[in-house]
Amino acid sequence: MDGNRKKCVLIHPMTKVKGVLGTLINKRGLISPNFPWRQYMNLKIKVKYFDDELIRLNKLEIGDWIDIRAAESVDLSYGEFKLIPLGIAIDLPEGYEAHVVPRSSTFKKWGIIETNSMGIIDESYKGDNDQWFFPAYALRRTTIEKNDRICQFRIVEKMPEVEIEEVEHLGNRDRNGHGSTGRN
């Protein structure tokens, strides 16, 4: 092993998912950051649908995002804003949040943008009436049909608790400000 890396030891198996999963602990008793957790981890989410005709969520084999569909047909004029209902409520696991963004084809097909760039849905928004919405702003006249795939989401771990400390100096080298990583 590389001299800079800590030696890790398999302590005990925890569960069987795609083989035996174990906890890797380094010499200092810390969980190894190099263990490939994602390949062994499956999250179960509960989904409530607000409409029986809505096509159900489906995790595609390729990619990390799950497509979401419009729960109703919507006509929008240029410059019009509308919260488009997505027809779902989800019980996210504790410690996780959902990031909702437009699909790459959403603007091309319908000329709409998500007004807040990315929607964040935390684990507390999980009641029976906590339906998800897509905040759309139309840049041309458009019609979105019920069951059109207009956005997508992924589930990510929430930021850990942080403590904020005010300092006079950060003690790091300056990079010369915003946009300074390269030259054209």
The catalytic residue positions are: 122
As given in the structure block, the two tokens for residue 24 are 């890797």
Cβ atoms of 43 and 98 within 8 Å: the answer is no
Cβ atoms of 132 and 89 within 8 Å: the answer is yes
Q: How far is CA 21 from the centre of its chain?
A: 25
CA dihedral defined by 146, 148, 150, 151, rounded to 10 degrees? 90
